[in-house]
Amino acid sequence: LISIADDERQPLDVRAGAEASLSQLFMFTHRTDESVRWADRAIAHAREVGDDVIAARAAVERASARSWIVPREMAETELRAAIDAARAAHDFIATARGLGNLLSLLPPHTGEGGELLDELRLLVRRAGFDKLGAVVAMRDCDAAVGRGDLAGARRAHAETWSSWMQVGTWTWAGSRQAFLAIEEGRFADAEAVLRSFSLPDDVIAARTAVNEDPFHIPIMWLELAALRGDRVLGERAFDALVAIDSGWNVFFNDVVIAVDSALALGIEPQRVREAFVTPMASADEAVKIEDASSYVEGLLAVGDGRHRDAIAFLEPLVGGEADERVEAIPRATTRIALVRAYLAIGDRARALDLVRRVVEVDLGRWPGVRRDRAEEILRRLSPTRADGASRAANAADAGPGGSLTPREREVAMLLSEGLTNGQLAERLYISPKTAAVHVSNILAKLDLSGRAEIAAWAVRNMGEPASTV
């Protein structure tokens, strides 16, 4: 391609086509400067011969390559202009590529994001290009995560996993696999996937692994460490984040999770502030959360014990209806911090109301470690309501089995439907081994002898089987 592009004997339209292809290749390998250089040449030559299609394709590659190194607002503006050019040229594939990359900047779970995703889906059907179908599934997964729909995220992820099995070079599918495993409490599985990318403090490998974004992998290591309570691992990941040079775009939702994880590990709030407040300008641009710094300052205020300051920061943001652009997990995380602040000043009523919203709305379709912990807070605040996630668990509090965890109650209810361990695992997004452990724990706690007795107990004490998301 380079020899064709540099051969002045070739017609300009041929050279422009080669230059646009080179721009795409360098964009795929994250060699941004070279991608932009070849795109500029392609655009100039295409315009000289009046080829709007090649000019649009090159513009999409140029804007896509720059989207990781320029401020988010600028990246969005450039991508939208390139997409408009591709639409005008009636180039379905270039338009779809641009939309797919734009949806890495815009939250696909929002109204506008959903409209763009629907357009992308329609274009992919017209183009009949399987690889772009995987991109649609990828963005569907992102949208499901944003809505807090774990089952939907898993379904969409499964569509991409078969296409992008390579782990060790960049793969969105592998990155999402690790994230979902962390959220589901499958920590060993998550660690195995993360180690295929890089060690917690290997920033160079992490940068290469995930689309030149050096923050993403260390943040997942930090989240894993926090949920496992592993301070040593957390310090390694935190130090890696601190060592990253400035100038990188940071996603707002990642920053919220990282700050909360660092504070949960007991890392001093001042260290966390120094690590994350400075990059917040980039985070603001990532999803246009104008109050991004207030979210972080609110979390830090809780960590500092400045609970009234935390309420002043967080109550206007998440005390009522939250910005739809904030994903469900960061929203729930921030609300739980606000719950702690309310409790610290003795406002139990507000804390109870807000944690119910977390359990029933933010994490209502997100079974896993976070919902389990939110339900534990709800149980402590509301003795008459052990689990706000389902009426089945409410009924369980009135009868025997009060020692069962919310997840064990859910398992007991599903056993009343006659599910096997394998079916339990599939329904709850856990491993069959974990399902077997839950069953064994229920048998021991209720002093029962078999699955049939658990099923009978569940029907007797928790009513008819409830549907499970």
Residue 332, both tokens: 């729930």
pTM over 0.75: no
Tokens of 303: 């960590």
Domains of the chain, start order: 398-462 (1.10.10.10)
Span 407-466, pLDDT tens digits: 888 888 888 887 888 788 878 877 777 788 788 888 878 877 778 778 878 877 776 544
pLDDT of residue 199: 65
pLDDT of amino acid 349 = 92
Structure tokens at 33: 């400067």
Contact indicator for 207, 213 with CB cutoff of 8 Å:
yes
Query: What percentage of residues in the chain have a pLDDT greater than 70?
Result: 82
Q: Is the pLDDT of residue 287 over 50?
A: no
The DSSP output letter for 170 is -
Give every CB contact of residue 418 below 8 A, 6+ residues apart in sequence. Answer: 455
What pLDDT is stored for residue 209 in this prediction?
Answer: 44
Which pLDDT tens digit goes with each residue over 172-188? 677 888 899 998 888 98
List, for residues 239-253, the tens digit of each pLDDT value: 888 877 654 455 678
**Beta carbons within 8 Å of 265's beta carbon, 6+ residues apart:** 222, 225, 226, 229, 230, 231, 234, 235, 238
- For the cut 90, the answer to whether the pLDDT of residue 87 exceeds it is yes
What is the number of alpha carbons within 13 Å of residue 410 lying toward its C-beta?
22
What span, in angstroms and rounded, lies between the C-alpha atoms of 389 and 375?
8
Torsion of CA 121, 126, 132, 133, to 10 degrees: 60
Average pLDDT of 375-401?
56
Residue type, position 63, single letter:
A
Percentage, residues of the chain above pLDDT 90 = 34
